[in-house]
Chain A
Amino acid sequence: DIVMTQSPDSLAVSLGERATINCKSSQSVLYSSNNKNFLSWFQQKPGQPPKLLIYWASTRESGVPDRFTGSGSGTDFTLTISSLQAEDVAVYYCQQYYSGPLTFGGGTKVEIK
């Protein structure tokens, strides 16, 4: 199984400041045939299902604000919120779809400082 490890577990950021979440996979999720990283990012607010933010590690889903940016390749990935807004308070998960079983990171809780 590919183990997804997120850091930190939680972080508190001031409104308008940058939030950075890290995700590391235990093996590469880069598929050589198409040079794509099989990694997505989700946002989950209390009482709601996860919402897709990013797929292919860096492609923003339609309708997702451009303050959300995904980056990285191979085994190391980052989700950056460039200017934190109040509505961004949530838990964020990375997930690999490179190989079965599909696995998620443990989540990072983002709060307002």
Chain B
Amino acid sequence: QLQLQESGPGLVKPSETLSLTCTVSGGSISSNTYYWGWIRQPPGKGLEWIGSLSYTGSTYYNPSLKSRVTISVDTSMNQFSLKLNSVTAADTAVYYCARVLITGTGRGYFDYWGQGTLVTVSS
């Protein structure tokens, strides 16, 4: 059974960089069938897509965050990572990693999600 697990600091200071890792188990990250993505959810609010990537490292970012976001992959560790710099209180959210099942069109839908990790931005 595929599992995704987010890890990283739960508290980040304003203006610093938020760094999270998603470890994939029960399946390989190195497949053309899947992309891998990050989504966030501020407390009590809705879902916002941050970005996605393929195992080859091709990336797709939400333009609203693109200037601050880097998503990367480590196939040897079966992990992918998120870095969000210059954070503010508005970046406080539960951060989810998820798998994207890619269809023949090159686009796909989120089919597996991690449990999520709360990151609070505060001094």
Say whether A52 contacts B111, CB under 8 Å.
Answer: yes
Given contacts A93-B47, A104-B47, A104-B48, contact A49 B96 (CB under 8 A): yes
Q: Name the residue of chain A whose CB is nearest to the CB of B113.
A: A49
Say whether A103 contacts B109, CB under 8 Å.
Answer: no
Given contacts A51-B113, A100-B60, contact A38 B107 (CB under 8 A): yes
Assess whether A72 is interfacial by the CB under 8 Å rule: no
Say whether A95 contacts B110, CB under 8 Å.
Answer: yes
Q: A residues 6-60 with Cβ under 8 Å of B?
A: 31, 33-34, 38, 40, 42, 48-52, 55
Say whether B109 contacts A101, CB under 8 Å.
Answer: no
Interface footprint category on B: 20 to 34
Say whether A52 contacts B47, CB under 8 Å.
Answer: no
CB-based A-B contact count at 8 angstroms = 56
Assess whether B104 is interfacial by the CB under 8 Å rule: yes
Residue of B49, B60, B116 near A49 (CB, 8 A) is B116
* 8 closest A-B pairs by CB: A49-B113, A102-B49, A104-B47, A101-B62, A40-B109, A55-B109, A106-B46, A97-B109
In the complex, besides A40-B109, A95-B109, 16 extra interface pairs with C-beta distance below 8 angstroms are A34-B104, A49-B116, A50-B47, A52-B109, A55-B111, A61-B111, A93-B47, A95-B110, A97-B108, A97-B109, A100-B62, A101-B49, A104-B46, A104-B47, A104-B49, A107-B46
